[in-house]
Amino acid sequence: MLIFIIILLICVFLIYATRNHRYWSQRNVKHEFPVPLFGNHFDNLFGYRSITQIANDLYNKYPEEKVVGYYRGRTPELIVRDLDIARHILNVDFGYFYQRGLGRDTDVETLMKNLFHAEGDLWKLLRQRLTPTFTTAKLKSMFPLIVNCAEKLHLAGDKIVESGGECDIRELMARFTTDFIGACGFGIEMDSINNENSTFRALGAKMFSRSFRDIILFGLWETIPEIRKMIYVQDARIKKVITDIVTTIFEQRNYKPIGRHDFIDLLLELADKGITGESIEKFDDDGNPKLVEVSMDLDVLVAQVFVFFGAGFETSSSASSFTLYKLALNPDIQIKIQGEIDQVLSKYNNKLCYDAVAELKYLDMAFKEAMRLFPSLGVLQRQCTRRYNIPQLGITIDPGVKIIIPIKAIQTDGKYYDNPKEFKPERFLSDKLKGPKYTYLPFGEGPRACIGARLGHMQSLAGLAALLQRFTVVPSSLTPTELPVNPWMNVVQSVKGGVPVKLKLRTH
């Protein structure tokens, strides 16, 4: 009898653990053999490879396929290799794929009500109303704040040089970005650049680190969907710190805009007026979208501050520090960029300004090339919301199937870029980059493309120009020939152990 019960339990477990594992074979989609319960996701769950590394490997393993199947536990996902299919998912057929599919329960984890994680009508209405934050006029008005942060960057660089020049350039650029976001977004003088123990820098680092608790909970969350409602992944300490910051700023402004036209002012306007617009999910009998309203309560407002601060500093500092790392390894390119900076700034009294940064074309090309090689987001994720026939394949996928667009793999594919691993800014000369569209996606594409792309781009170029105007970046004794990727990071790519380089004062 005991043996029978054991055999029965094993059978029940195997049925449960392999459910959906024939999904891709039934559709003749190539895929790796899935392991019971884990699918193809074992290496990611246990920190051997990030999802970007896994997507890269599968992308390169099946060069003749338009798509490759994958199982995150028992959930079927589709890694898209074909650019036309990617175009349909991100843009043409966006109505089927408007969800990012990260799947967190926003009623429980309220910080996930932010624009990046939000789904459906909350996402659509937030996107619609937050977009005016990033107009050209707004960006120009923010630039004096960038100049102020750039001057602090010079002081911090001088201290580093006095101490021998060795530094983690990733940390320095993270502190610069933290200060800028605090100033332009919240009207706060954070002074993270000159204070290694800044509360705000520590908060930013905490947002993008994964504790042992996080690893266990994320593993359970991804492997056993049935218990997701019982798992609380969000760090309550981060929520409390962010909520306290936002509440304090709101109180200082008497819960009304004060004319700074920063991110907090915009949120206070939304809280006062609310948001109403056409639904992306609900339709009347004639097929017309219904009008819906989103309540801008404190949880929603805090969530937007969370993503503006966290995602803003992480992606920009990652991109700018990787650019500096590549320039340290390519001194001829760095010299050419410094010559351009000197020439352009000489027309503006050697001071950074919005128009000067707009003229730094070669620096811009180098930054874009760095983002091609190491995009802050290594993959884009979407989720199918209703049955969808993929016209290029003639197969149908069901609601809930996840889609992975492997940005890094596409951007380093020799089919689209000659010598794809080489750092070559000239690729981005306007008359040379004539490859197919959707081969360059560091900010995403379509309606869910990064809303802060222009702000992040401008801020990064300004930080790079400020640093390279005064300093030269060279390899240190600790600088690796290739930066090791942190396999625990999935949404945003990260480097394990920082980016060690050496700063030297320029000799003109």
Instruction: Tell me the domain boundaries of the chain.
Output: 82-505
Residue 192 corresponds to which tokens in the numbers above?
Answer: 């993270």
Distances (CA, A) of 71 to 17, 35, 494: 12, 9, 23
Q: Pick from 220, 183, 217, 178: which is nearest to 199 by CA?
A: 178
Tens of pLDDT, residue by residue over 290-305, are: 888 888 888 888 888 8
Which H/E stretch holds residue 486? none
Q: Phi, psi (5° rounding) for residue 281?
A: -120, -25
pLDDT at residue 3, as a whole number: 82
pTM reported for the whole predicted model: 0.91
Buried b (16+ CB within 10 A) or exposed e, 462-499: bbbbbbbbbbbbbebeebeeebebbbbbbbbbbbeebb
d(Cα 230, Cα 233) in Å, to the nearest integer? 10
Length in residues, the chain: 508
Q: Please tell me whether residue 503 adopts helix, strand or coil conformation.
A: strand
CA atoms within 13 A of residue 374's CA, in its CB half-sphere? 25
Q: How many Å apart are CA 131 and CA 129, to the nearest integer?
A: 6
Residues 6+ apart with CB under 8 A from 493: 50, 52, 318, 374, 375, 376, 377, 378, 408, 485, 486
Q: What are phi and psi of 387, to 5 degrees?
A: -50, 130
CA-to-CA distance for 160 and 154, rounded, in angstroms?
10
Tens digits of residue pLDDT in 480-507: 999 998 888 877 888 888 899 999 999 8
N-terminal to C-terminal alpha carbon distance within the chain = 87
Q: Return the pLDDT at 71.
A: 95
For the domain bounded by 82-505, which CATH number is listed? 1.10.630.10
**Inter-residue contact 288 to 428 (CB < 8 Å):** no
Report the pLDDT value the prediction gives residue 433, as an integer from 0 to 100.
Answer: 58
149 is in an annotated binding site: no
Tell me which DSSP letter residue 368 carries.
Answer: H
pLDDT for 136 equals: 80
- What averages of pLDDT result for each successive group of 10 residues across the chain (508 residues)? 76 78 95 92 89 96 96 94 96 94 78 87 88 79 80 88 93 85 75 64 68 73 73 76 86 84 81 82 82 86 85 82 97 97 94 92 96 94 95 95 96 94 91 73 92 88 94 94 86 86 89
| Sequence-separated (6 or more) residues with CB below 8 Å from residue 182 | 188, 189, 190, 192, 200, 309
How many helices (H) and strands (E) are present in the chain, helices listed first? 17, 11
Q: Report the pLDDT value the prediction gives residue 208, as an integer from 0 to 100.
A: 65
Dihedral angle computed from the Cα positions of residues 486, 183, 370 and 327, in that order, rounded to the nearest 10 degrees: -100
Instruction: Output the DSSP codes for 197-210.
Output: T-HHHHHHHHHT--
Counting Cα atoms < 13 Å in the Cβ hemisphere of 279 gives 11
Supply the pLDDT for residue 194: 63
Q: Which amino acid is at 495?
A: V
Strands 402-405 and 75-80: parallel
